[in-house]
Amino acid sequence: DAGITQSPRHKVTETGTPVTLRCHQTENHRYMYWYRQDPGHGLRLIHYSYGVKDTDKGEVSDGYSVSRSKTEDFLLTLESATSSQTSVYFCAISEAPSSRTDTQYFGPGTRLTVL
Amino acid sequence: AQSVSQHNHHVILSEAASLELGCNYSYGGTVNLFWYVQYPGQHLQLLLKYFSGDPLVKGIKGFEAEFIKSKFSFNLRKPSVQWSDTAEYFCAASGGNQGGKLIFGQGTELSVKP
């Protein structure tokens, strides 16, 4: 398995509170991604990063922000959590996404519940 | 708009039955296609991928998929399933030179009865 850890693995929080999820990799891969998984929707891209301090929005970015100050860490922040953000969040990494030999590896996930 | 759709939400098979899961995509330009599997309580793992070349792609655990450009399809097949194949299967696509951003289908839950 690729060296990807996510923290926390489970979190319960209340509506309106800020939440930060962390993804940490030991593979030195350039690209990092945040997805959310919801029943009936598969996985949807929230934000991604193509280098330190280089980030861009994905398909469902509203209500989320990200930061990447080091190659190994990619943080996802919910500024003011809402119940619609209850989901399982997966981090993924990739070295060269346009290469046919590349693979996007996924972390173990963080289950977030917003009450 | 780019999209990926999976026709079957839940498939139930007996062991040794053959499997085919449908996947259709809508993408302009070059497309890369993937099948991922998620076993209960685990993270996603790559089964196979298509970038170019031979449209019949073989992956791990005896799975294969065929890229049919004229039908915009990338169906997953396995000739004989096992109980351990019980999992959720996701088809995904990315465009060439788009930073690897994956668009996933809704997923198909496969239950294999022993």
The domain over range B3-113 is classified in CATH as 2.60.40.10? yes
Give B57's contacts in chain A (Cβ within 8 Å): none
Nearest to A6, CA basis, from A115, A114, A111: A111
What CATH number did the domain enclosing A96 receive?
2.60.40.10
**A43/B43 Cβ within 8 A:** no
Q: How many other CB atoms are found less than 10 A from the CB of residue A70?
A: 10
Note the pLDDT of residue B82. 96
Q: Which domain holds residue A38?
A: 4-114
CB pairs under 8 A between A and B: 64
CB distance B83 to B112 below 8 Å: yes
| B contact residues 38-77, partner A, Cβ 8 Å cutoff | 42-46, 49, 51-52
Q: How many domains are contained in chain A? A: 1
pLDDT in tens, B16-63: 999 999 999 998 788 899 999 999 988 899 999 998 889 999 999 999
pLDDT in tens, A64-111: 999 999 999 999 999 999 999 999 999 999 987 767 677 889 999 999
Cα pseudo-dihedral B79, B81, B87, B90, rounded to 10? 0
Chain B nearest-CA residue for A42: B106
**A100/B51 Cβ within 8 A:** yes
Give B4's contacts in chain A (Cβ within 8 Å): 42
